[in-house]
Amino acid sequence: MDLLSSINRRVDLMMVIVALLLCAYGVIMVFSATQSLHLSSGDPYLHLKKQVVSLFIGVIAIVIISISNYNRWKNHLISIYLLNISILALVLLIGKTVNGAKSWIELGTFFQFQPSELSKLLLIVTLASFFASRKTQLNSIQDLVLALVHVSLPLLLVLAQPDLGTGLCFIAILLGMMLIAGFPARHFAIIFLIGIIIGFSAFHFQLLEPHQVERLTVFINPNNAPRDAIYNLVQSKIAIGSGQFSGKGLFSGTQAKLQFLPERHTDFIFSVVGEELGFLGASFLLLLFFILIMRGLRTAAYAKNLFGTLLVAGIVSLWIFQIMINVGMTIGLMPITGIPLPFISYGNSSLITHLAAIGILLSVYARRFV
């Protein structure tokens, strides 16, 4: 008991268990969603193998990051920020274009690296360092301008890919961290006003890609949307609705198996959960997310310093935003933006990044008394 108590003092075992359960959930659902992708021309276990490899790398990242002292990172704000800008600029130069976005860098035939996923964590670290260094001096308009400038350069590089979903994640991170850092309400009002102006300008001057405009207009007025434009949402709702209370059974979802449901292993993985595991399986998944977020908030509350609190706040803000958007878009409550479901959606860079985020939380947790 003494050994277990000592370990629990240094490691949030509940957080680790929940994170691993989410990963196991994700691996199983990715396998179920992708069995039919390679039946005629390849390895039906290809996506499963890649996801397991990413899980293994992510677990190593958890160990390395959790035993490192997060307090040392705040002394390298400029270096980390330049690294962030460099990898986002690099993908625009040598990146591979998939589905209209130049967001991936090929690392051999088996692995693709998406810099914008890692960029989320790097942005959280640099923003936390910047806010913590100013402490309570965050009431002036100058502080708001500096915060917006801090986010604007990586944001513009991501939008240039174009990747609207990741850009929205950057905004969610900024707002969540500003709230915890103590920015006054008037600064949030200014950001809201800027967002309205930018959104109106993007539509008026046709700054968005056609498929991005289509996704947003489908959400605003689905009844008058063209049949092709609303196809994804209709198939998602059919999948989730057909699962009813207990689901059709694992590996027995017809919408996924018969390939009616698009992007079923990435953007619409929650639809596969709803169809195969029903209300019970979807509710259990959301319960795991709830526990993880609550453990994150607990870690933020007990962090030794403001820098640790802000690190956790940024990560929790990212998780809440991605979960709300991804689940919401599968049932028509949010626009379809291509934002993956943390730990569940297929994606090498996404899974490794979120597991690395667990490592950051564990590092903050372990040093809450020292």
Please answer whether residues 321 and 329 qualify as being in contact, where contact means their C-beta atoms are separated by less than 8 angstroms: no
Dihedral angle sign, alpha carbons of residues 56, 61, 66, 68: positive
287: nearest Cα among 273, 301, 275, 276:
273
pLDDT tens by residue, 285-324: 999 999 999 999 999 999 989 999 999 999 999 999 999 9
As a whole number of angstroms, the distance between CA 199 and CA 36 comes to 39
pLDDT score of 153 more than 70:
yes
Distances (CA, A) of 40 to 36, 237, 292: 8, 28, 39
Q: Span 30-51, mean pLDDT?
A: 76
Q: Span 18-38, mean pLDDT?
A: 88
pLDDT score of 356 more than 90:
yes
Per-residue model confidence (pLDDT) at position 204: 62
pLDDT tens by residue, 154-212: 999 998 888 888 999 999 999 999 999 888 888 889 888 988 888 777 666 666 666 66
pTM assigned to the model: 0.91
177: nearest Cα among 118, 125, 117:
125
Between 126 and 6, the higher pLDDT residue:
126
Q: In angstroms, how far is CA 86 from the centroid of its own chain?
A: 21
Tokens 């088996």 appear where? 110
Per-residue model confidence (pLDDT) at position 277: 92
Q: DSSP string of 70-98?
A: GGGGGGGHHHHHHHHHHHHHHHHHHPEEE
Length of the chain in residues, anyone?
A: 370
For 200, other C-beta atoms within 10 Å of its C-beta total 10
pLDDT score of 80 more than 80:
yes
